Structure 1
Amino acid sequence: MSQLKPIDSHCFDADVLQAPKPVLVEFGAVWCQPCRLLEPVLEELAGEWGDTVTVAKLDVDEAAQLTQEYQVLSVPTVMLFKNGKIVERMTGYQPKDKIQSKVEPHIS
C-alpha cells in the first residue's frame, strides 16, 4: 500500500495548508517518467519519517488551478509546506539525500 497520500484541489486546503505538521507535496503526472522514478524515493522517506511529515502527491492534470497558483512549470516539482506556507521547493528528480537535507531541518 502506498504511503503517499493522494490529494486534489478539493482537499488541498484542509490536507496541506491547514495541516498540523509539515506536508511534502509532489506535483506530478501519471505520464511523467521522472515522477515515476521519484515516487519510490518519496515512499521510502515517508516510511522513515513516519508521523512527523505527511508525504502527498497531486496530479497536475487533475488540479490545473493549483498547478498555476503555485507556478509549477515542470514535473515533478516537490514543495514542503509548513504552517500553510512553502518553506522548500525542488524541481525535477531529486536524490533521497538532497530531499532529506531540505526537509529534515523543518521537522520539529
Structure 2
Amino acid sequence: MEGKRVIGLAARDSSGHLSPFSFTLRKTGTEDVLLKVLFCGMDHTDLLQIRSEIQPPNYPLVPGHEVVGEVVELGSEVKKFKVGDSCWSWLHSRILWCMLVL
C-alpha cells in the first residue's frame, strides 16, 4: 500500500494538544503486517513521549502504542497471519518497533 494516505491525531509540540495529521505509509515490507486500526489507547507513557520526558520525539508525533486492528496486508514472508485476522500490536521497545500478537 505504498503511497496510501492515512489520518491520525498528532501532537505537533510538547503541549499535548492533538490535531488531525495526514501522512503517507511506506511500502509494506516482507516481514510486515499492515493493520487497519480499529481502536487505539493512549496512556501516561504516550503523554510522557509527547512531552519529551522519555526521549526526544520527532514532531509531528502520532501517539498510541496499544492498537487493535484488522489485518489488511501481509509481507511475503509472513506466515502466522492472514488478511481479515483481528490482532493487537504493542510498541514494546525504546527503538519504537511493534510486535504483533494474536
**TM-score (ref. length: structure 1):** 0.29
More helix by share: 1
* Structure with the higher fraction of residues in strand conformation: 2
- TM-score by structure 2 length? 0.29
Higher relative contact order (CA 8 A, sep 6+): 1
